[in-house]
Structure 1
Amino acid sequence: MDVTPRYLGAGSFLARRDPRVLLLVPVLYFVAVANVADLRGMLVCAAVALVYYRAAGIPWRGVRANWVFMLTFTTLLVAVNSVFTAADTRVGAGEALFTVPLTGTEVTWATLSYAGTLLVRYASLAMVSFPVAFAIAPSDLGVALARLRLSQRLAYGVDLTFRFLPSTVAALRETIDAQRVRGYEHSRSRNPFRKLASLKPVVVPVTVNALIDAEDTANAMDLRGFGAKHRTWMRELAFGRTDYLVMGGFLALAAVMTAAKFFGPFGEVWAP
């Protein structure tokens, strides 16, 4: 059984690009936003990231749970690191708006600006990263990594992971359904050991099948001579004019934001 990951952005503008573009853009964008401490500059970068994300054509219903988890976790992380505790990277004390009761931290406009910058940074990084998971054809990911001159073991490892894990999840669901037909019910006891013991009818067959699939894959790779110094890929990749334009745009963004950090207004926290 071969169950590939969700290719939600199929047919979109980014899906038609060379997959290496989708792998390199997050790196360039990270270089750009890593140098921005001003909320206004971060909003400019976020606008670019939003346009890029929309070009992936990823339907909201397909990634709603991913976004809810990411935004919830990020909001809690930002609140703890910037609002509830002191942050040395903030500049300018300013007038305290209120004081956090438990920690006694004084919250100023600079504090809120710093927190907003972090939140927008993480959210925009997710925008440029989601197309890697949902707008690259699963069969192209390993080829793209190999064409970037990365280790062939890394390329094959990522390619097999994107195929093996979804297959294991699908096998888990099928096993649970099959066991329920046979009368299996998960224990509702509060005893953790009893709960773990009740999972044995599900965990054992899934684990055995996963080991068998992994062994079959390893044998198939041995038969194909995996481990040689140089391997060829049937899939050919070539940058087009649009690919160069997209890469050049993000390269320019990284250069402008890096220059703005040292020579412009975006190197310090903005306090309204």
Structure 2
Amino acid sequence: MDVTPRYLGAGSFLSRRDPRVLLLVPVLYLVAVAGIDDLRPVLLCTAAALAYYRAAGIPWRGVRANWAFMLTFTTALVVANSILTSADTRSGGNAEVLFTVPVTHTAVTWATLSYAATLLVRYISLAMVGFPVAFNIAPSDLGVAFARLGLSQRLAYGIDLTFRFLPSTWASLQETVDAQRLRGYEHSRTRNPVKRLITLKPVVVPVTVNALIDAEDTVNAMDLRGFGGRHRTWMRELAFDRADYLVLGGFAAMAAVLVAAKILGLTETVWVP
């Protein structure tokens, strides 16, 4: 595994935190925003998520493709699940029909748009707290972070290798494409994603074989070093500092307040402006 995930947030506030903080914050945030239909508390949570994301110091040029894909996919998903279909929008406000979708004949009201906005903002805010996991944790800290959270050493190291698998496979794909070009095979440069996938058929077999060979080599190397035979020790020592406790405490308090609000039924109604 000579390719590691991109470490883009080096030197930022979040990169100096214990990696367990970056793994626990998305879990607490998901607990906080899950099941909320009211847009207003989701917007408040999004403000906290934005401040958290800004503290990550991730350069825009390094993740703009990731954000473009995420926003495109999320927007299409929200439109399909809320506007083009009969979404359950429990609203006590005005149910005046604004327009009707031509194909599905779905009546769109202010409640429908508010519900769609809630879903979209929720997904975007989840991405904000999730991106630091991929770009602000040093690759060498992933395994020890999961192990310190109580996972077994096999599972912790397996997750560590999983994070390295996709970049390694992408590098193998690029090497295979370059090798085929040297042998006279030209891949299509069209912008049509379907045609580009079709032209990649000759690449699938060698990339898959190389991935299986790399996986087998990794397993053999770990077996030769006696991995899993005895309890593993980690060179990296992790310890929470005051800033770590403050970040975790803030998100834990937000999760507790919103869970209580959901239990009391204060966030079940779709807000209609």
Q: Normalising by the residue count of structure 1, what TM-score does the alignment of the two structures yield?
A: 0.90
Aligned to 1:19: 19
Q: CA RMSD in A?
A: 2.3
Aligned to 1:85: 85
Aligned to 1:136: 137
Distance 2:200 2:225 in 1: 41
CA contact (8 A) 1:49 1:127 kept: yes
CA contact (8 A) 2:15 2:56 kept: yes
Query: Which amino acid is 2:221 matched to?
Result: A
Aligned to 2:224: 223
Aligned to 2:28: 28
Distance 1:51 1:211 in 2: 41
Identity across matched positions, percent: 77
- Within 5 Å, give how 1:1-272 maps onto structure 2: 2-92=2-92, 94-186=95-187, 199-200=201-202, 202-228=203-229, 230-263=231-264, 265-272=266-273
Query: Which amino acid is 1:220 matched to?
Result: A
CA contact (8 A) 1:52 1:128 kept: yes
Q: For each residue in 1:163-190, what CA deviation from the matched residue of structure 2 results, as whole angstroms up to 9, or x when unmatched?
A: 33322321221232132122222379xx
Query: Which amino acid is 2:104 matched to?
Result: T
Q: For each residue in 1:29-54, what CA deviation from the matched residue of structure 2 results, as whole angstroms up to 9, or x when unmatched?
A: 00110142211111000000000011
How many residues align structurally? 266
* Greater mean alpha carbon deviation, residues 35-44 or residues 133-142: 35-44
| 3-state SS, counterpart of residue 267 of structure 2 | helix
| 3-state SS, counterpart of residue 142 of structure 1 | helix
* Greater mean alpha carbon deviation, residues 237-246 or residues 211-220: 211-220
Deviation of 1:223 (Å): 1.8
| 3-state SS, counterpart of residue 8 of structure 1 | coil
CA distance 1:198–1:85, shift in 2 (3 Å) = closer
Query: Which amino acid is 2:116 matched to?
Result: A
CA contact (8 A) 2:38 2:271 kept: yes
| 3-state SS, counterpart of residue 23 of structure 1 | helix
Distance 1:109 1:231 in 2: 57
Query: Which amino acid is 1:82 matched to?
Result: S
Deviation of 1:142 (Å): 1.1
CA contact (8 A) 1:38 1:268 kept: yes
**Ranges in structure 1 where 5+ consecutive residues have no aligned partner:** none
Distance 2:112 2:169 in 1: 45
Query: Which amino acid is 1:179 matched to?
Result: Q
Distance 1:8 1:214 in 2: 26
